[in-house]
Structure 1
Amino acid sequence: MTLTGKNYIAGTASAEGQDTFRAINPATGAELDTHFTDATEGEVNRAAQAAAEAFEVYRHTTPAQRHDYLTAIAEEIMALGDALIDRCCAESGLPAGRITGERGRTVNQLKLFAAVAAEGSWVDARIDRAQPEREPVPKPDVRSMLRPLGPVAVFGASNFPLAFSVAGGDTASALAAGCPVVAKAHPSHPGTCELIAGAIHRATERCGLPAGVFSLLQGHTHDSGGWLVNHPAIKAVGFTGSYGGGKALFDAANRRPEPIPVYAEMGSTNPVFLLPGALSESGEEIARGLTQSVNLGVGQFCTTPGLVFLPPETDASAFSDAVAEQFRGVDAAVMLNASIRDAYERGVRELAADGELEALAQGKTSDVGYTGTARVFTTTAERYLSNTRLQEEVFGPSTVLVAQSDREQLLAGARGLHGHLTATLFGTEADLEEYRELVEILEGKVGRLIVNNFPTGVEVCHSMVHGGPFPATTASGTTSVGTRAILRFARPVAYQNFPQSLLPPALQDDNPLGLRRMVDGEWVDA
């Protein structure tokens, strides 16, 4: 499968720009073959306009058609075979086993949203029938449902080149909702993105859909992304990445004459609270699990635990010693790209130089490729409470152990948390009952609460919430993983006193789609 290095504008390869770039293998630092051409403003405009035109057709597709389309995309991705795995490994530095697993997750996400689209009840159809005889004012016939927003801009993530990228969860949920997608490829893995774009294009043709339902833009600067977010045809943005990148897109979207929602999943330190009973019963096991969780994927997960609150009024020195010993044995490993490695090293240097922290241990080092070294620090609750910077994510394999002197100090630390994606509690049944107040505090701070498991690993299922209050995300009422993600790309529309022939099928009396609906205040199955 020969790469072209071009943009895909509504299925047509295009390379009008003069600026090009090449992907770099982070394991070696060597440039890979194929020059990729930055999208021009004109190409961005054409992609957005093609998406707007496709929306007028795609928004009217049936649940069955969207199911077939998402399924076809999954099939075409699998048909890429080893070519996709090989290129993705070369561009990301991730091992083949990890990429193969991530491909499976990507395909399964597409199939999950295909099933959601086919079932159809996500549209939340509601019917309040007319009561013309009601006194003193007759009641009109009012019906409502969720309708697709319009074209969506999706920005690929660096750390999940498949599952949070061109055909990842944002794209799957937007297409399931009836929204065309214009994807911005991540410059770290442009070849992977092009291969996936080709698969989506072939699925689009197979299903007889307008070519503008999907486009891919390349670019190694912020220009193409800025043009895309500011195009009036774009009605929402999906983003996974750094706080700086997500906040910049959010600000740009809100400066538009017509502001649009930005669903940005950004940084998080995912605090872990270790309670006394758990420390006593399972301290050594938790130390091993913490080391594994922090260093999974070289710490390049948005759910990596970067803060660990040790239990109050308890000697946690044995636990700290066990964590230190575990970290010293961690091999240096390849990070995703030079900028991520450099930002990580800069972040840990600043932590080490900060008088508020003490370096406890570090892992092994390497000078081959863009490698990162594991590190663990310690501090006191007093220092932590006086330095909110310690809550900021250092993206990579490091964590900070925070010692507490009493219960109130621990609760104060929890109350002072910013928004995060997750919070974890390790505790016995008695611990959790005693610290019920801690649970109640954390409910207001995160999107996912976890007991006696580490946060790395996000199950893709109907009930998952991968989100949280700002600054973890820009939209705390949503999730980027799980089937609720589809709700980001739809809005409610009410139809009053409409004849049956003009109503969407989901709201017609005979319920041709067989949906579960609310009728006169009661949920009625098909």
Structure 2
Amino acid sequence: MSLTGHLLIGAADVPATEGTMKALNPATNTLIEPEFAFGGRAQVDQAATLADAAFDSYSHTSLAERAAFLESIADNLNAAREELAARAALETGLPQAQLEGEAARAATQFRQFAEVVRKGRFLQLAIDPAQPDRQPRPRMDHRLQKVAIGPVAIFGASNFPISYSVAGGDTASALAAGATVILKAHNAHPGASEIQARAIRKAVQMHGLHEGVFSMVRGGGNAIGEALVDHPLIKAVTFTGSEVGGMALYRRAQLRPDPIPVFTEMTSVNPTFILPEALEARGAEIGDGFVERMLVNVGQACLCPSILIAVEGEGLQALRSAMINRVSAAPARTMLTPGIHGSYVKGLEAMESVGANLVAVGAPADGQLEGRSALLEVDGQRLLSEPALAHEVFGPAALLVTVNDEEELLAVARSFKGQLSAAIHLEDRDLDLARRLLPILERRTGRIVVNAFAHPQEVTFATVHGGPFPATSDSRFTSVGMTSIERFLRPVAYQGFPDALLPEVLREGNPLGLPRSIDGQ
């Protein structure tokens, strides 16, 4: 595919109106052709107007039609996999083989959501039949389904250039719900974004859908993101990135004349707790495994395990030694952007400035944007007295926290703010302590893992990728997994309708054979 660098607004390729940019190859710190267009409020308005015009027809496509559309997107992504991965590798410094796997995951998500759509359970169909003879007054027939919330704006993420980007889970779940999508491409990987956007637009055209079902815009600075959040035709926003960026969008959305939901995924250190018997039995194994997972993606993953808490005792020295050995042997690797690299360096400096001891570093960096791994250590009291130590440092760094006893371990657990995940390593004789720890973690995270690490994560019906603030802005929803579709749905009740006027999914006789509750049964 020949990259044009244009914005893709409906069926149109739109040239720059607000300047241009080139992608950066972070491995060589050089710019890559071609130039990519920036747009502004006028282009957001064009895309939003199209998305609104497309919404009624697209949200009323049959389940079979919508599922087939999602599968065509998956087919198009698979057809472009090698080209997409090669371009993403140039723009991120990540291995091409890893990115081919990420592209395959993105295609798989669209197929998974196609099955969700076909089965229809996401509609949560409910029927409470009329009771004309009920006393003291009759009950009318009531029927309920979930419908799409409206056109949505999705902000692509920087750290996963495919599976959290243009063709990521947010786009797949929004389209599955029946929402039309405007995607704000991340400037860290504009070429990869264009390839994905063209795969989606091709599917729109193949199925004869309204051109406004999908658009992709791009801009410099904050103006285009603010324009998306401000636009009165946009009814929801998703964002993956920093707490500062996410909360700026969230607050802006609440100041609209008609406030809208902003579903953010922002920050998490994914604490790991090693209970005493597990530490004694498997300290070295856990320490090595923890650092191995921390180093994945050069530590640039929302589920990167960053803080490990262990009680002083047998096995602690083996744990510490294993972590030091793994960190010391780790080569420096290219980070995604100059901004992320700079923030990582400043984050390490900030941790040391508030009392963290640097106990191991990886091989020296050769490239300007390479991240050197680091292991820092503090005791539990220092962590409790310096909340900044529990802040995310986005990169290949880990903090080992040693606590004096079980009570201090529980106090440290209580000190954490909301997290995407937490992990517990335990043996049978640790169960009593685990039972005390569990309710503390349940209040602070959306996913708890036992005898494994938070990363990687499966994409399933039981997946939860969310948690209390500041992990997300709304802990009721997940941004990964099949139930992420619920972010883009709202309930509508139909009362006293003649059968011919009802949506097909709610008609008598259940013509589509979908799961429905009748009087709660």
| TM-score clears 0.5 | yes
Mapped contact 2:358–2:377 kept (Cα < 8 A) = yes
Which residue does 1:448 correspond to in 2? 447
1:168-198 CA distance string (max 9 Å, x none): 1000000000000000000010111111111
Partner AA of 2:189 in structure 1? H
- Find out whether 1:260 has 2:256 as its counterpart: no
Tell me how far apart the structure 2 counterparts of residues 321 and 84 of structure 1 sit (CA, whole Å).
40
Secondary structure at the counterpart of residue 273 of structure 1: strand
Secondary structure at the counterpart of residue 490 of structure 2: strand
Tell me how far apart the structure 1 counterparts of residues 263 and 213 of structure 2 sit (CA, whole Å).
20
Which residue does 1:309 correspond to in 2? 309
Mapped contact 2:51–2:212 kept (Cα < 8 A) = yes
Which residue does 1:486 correspond to in 2? 485
Tell me how far apart the structure 2 counterparts of residues 438 and 319 of structure 1 sit (CA, whole Å).
21
Which residue does 1:515 correspond to in 2? 514
1:396-411 aligned at under 5 Å gives the runs 396-411=395-410
Secondary structure at the counterpart of residue 495 of structure 1: strand
Question: Structure 1 residue 366: deviation in Å?
Answer: 1.3
Q: Which runs of 4+ in 1 moved over 6 A?
A: none
Question: Structure 1 residue 157: deviation in Å?
Answer: 0.7
Tell me how far apart the structure 2 counterparts of residues 276 and 18 of structure 1 sit (CA, whole Å).
59
Which residue does 1:475 correspond to in 2? 474
Which residue does 2:373 correspond to in 1? 374
Which residue does 2:72 correspond to in 1? 72
Tell me how far apart the structure 1 counterparts of residues 411 and 93 of structure 2 sit (CA, whole Å).
41
Partner AA of 1:259 in structure 2? P
Which residue does 1:464 correspond to in 2? 463
Partner AA of 1:428 in structure 2? E
Mapped contact 2:71–2:110 kept (Cα < 8 A) = yes
Tell me how far apart the structure 1 counterparts of residues 313 and 333 of structure 2 sit (CA, whole Å).
37
Which residue does 1:108 correspond to in 2? 108
Which residue does 2:412 correspond to in 1? 413
Partner AA of 2:40 in structure 1? T
Partner AA of 2:56 in structure 1? E
Tell me how far apart the structure 1 counterparts of residues 473 and 452 of structure 2 sit (CA, whole Å).
26
Question: Structure 1 residue 82: deviation in Å?
Answer: 2.5
Mapped contact 2:23–2:32 kept (Cα < 8 A) = yes
Mapped contact 1:422–1:446 kept (Cα < 8 A) = yes
Which residue does 1:390 correspond to in 2? 389
Tell me whether 506-515 or 170-179 shows the greater mean CA deviation: 506-515
Which residue does 2:227 correspond to in 1? 227
Question: Structure 1 residue 62: deviation in Å?
Answer: 0.7
Question: Structure 1 residue 59: deviation in Å?
Answer: 0.9
Which residue does 1:365 correspond to in 2? 364
Which residue does 2:37 correspond to in 1? 37
Partner AA of 1:422 in structure 2? S
Question: Structure 1 residue 65: deviation in Å?
Answer: 0.8
1:87-236 aligned at under 5 Å gives the runs 87-236=87-236
Tell me how far apart the structure 1 counterparts of residues 149 and 83 of structure 2 sit (CA, whole Å).
35
Partner AA of 1:29 in structure 2? N
Question: Structure 1 residue 432: deviation in Å?
Answer: 2.6
Mapped contact 2:284–2:315 kept (Cα < 8 A) = no
Question: Structure 1 residue 275: deviation in Å?
Answer: 0.7
1:213-238 CA distance string (max 9 Å, x none): 00000123211111011101111111
Partner AA of 2:199 in structure 1? A
Question: Structure 1 residue 249: deviation in Å?
Answer: 1.1
Which residue does 2:332 correspond to in 1? 332
Tell me how far apart the structure 1 counterparts of residues 492 and 368 of structure 2 sit (CA, whole Å).
53
Secondary structure at the counterpart of residue 153 of structure 1: strand
Secondary structure at the counterpart of residue 34 of structure 1: strand
The 3 A distance-change label for structure 1 pair 459 and 81 is: closer
1:382-413 CA distance string (max 9 Å, x none): 11111111221110011111111121111111
Mapped contact 2:294–2:396 kept (Cα < 8 A) = yes
Secondary structure at the counterpart of residue 310 of structure 1: strand
1:255-298 CA distance string (max 9 Å, x none): 11111111111110000001111111111111110110111110
1:267-282 aligned at under 5 Å gives the runs 267-282=267-282
Which residue does 2:237 correspond to in 1? 237
Mapped contact 1:153–1:238 kept (Cα < 8 A) = yes
For normalisation by structure 2, the TM-score amounts to: 0.98
Tell me how far apart the structure 2 counterparts of residues 116 and 211 of structure 1 sit (CA, whole Å).
24
Secondary structure at the counterpart of residue 476 of structure 1: coil
The 3 A distance-change label for structure 1 pair 315 and 116 is: closer
Tell me how far apart the structure 2 counterparts of residues 391 and 248 of structure 1 sit (CA, whole Å).
22
Question: Structure 1 residue 315: deviation in Å?
Answer: 6.3
Please, which runs of 5 or more residues in structure 2 have no aligned partner?
none
1:458-513 CA distance string (max 9 Å, x none): 10111100000010001100001111000100001111111111211121111122
Tell me how far apart the structure 2 counterparts of residues 143 and 18 of structure 1 sit (CA, whole Å).
49
- Find out whether 1:84 has 2:90 as its counterpart: no
Tell me how far apart the structure 2 counterparts of residues 16 and 276 of structure 1 sit (CA, whole Å).
60
1:42-53 aligned at under 5 Å gives the runs 42-53=42-53
Mapped contact 1:312–1:407 kept (Cα < 8 A) = no
Secondary structure at the counterpart of residue 396 of structure 1: coil
Which residue does 1:344 correspond to in 2? 344
Please, which runs of 5 or more residues in structure 1 have no aligned partner?
none
1:308-327 CA distance string (max 9 Å, x none): 11125556233212211221
Aligned residue pair count: 521
Question: Structure 1 residue 433: deviation in Å?
Answer: 3.3
Mapped contact 1:6–1:218 kept (Cα < 8 A) = no
Question: Structure 1 residue 103: deviation in Å?
Answer: 0.5
Secondary structure at the counterpart of residue 253 of structure 1: helix
